[in-house]
Amino acid sequence: MENYTNNHDVKYIRWNQKYFEGPAEDPSGKKLIYTLASPHLEENFPGTLNIKVTYTDASRTDEDGIHVVSLIMEYEAKLSEDSPVEESVCSMTNHGYFILFHYPTNPLLVSCKS
Q: Which residues are bridge partners to 53 per DSSP?
A: 34, 75
Tell me: the pLDDT tens digits for 80-89? 999 999 988 8
Give the start-to-end residue ranges of the domains of the chain: 13-114
d(CA 96, CA 101): 17
Q: What is the pTM of this model?
A: 0.69
d(CA 88, CA 80): 11
Find the distance separating the first CA and the last CA of the chain, reported in whole Å. 38
> Tens-digit pLDDT profile for the chain (114 aa)?
444 455 555 566 677 778 899 999 888 888 999 999 999 988 778 889 999 999 998 888 989 898 888 888 999 999 999 999 998 888 887 776 655 555 555 555 444 444
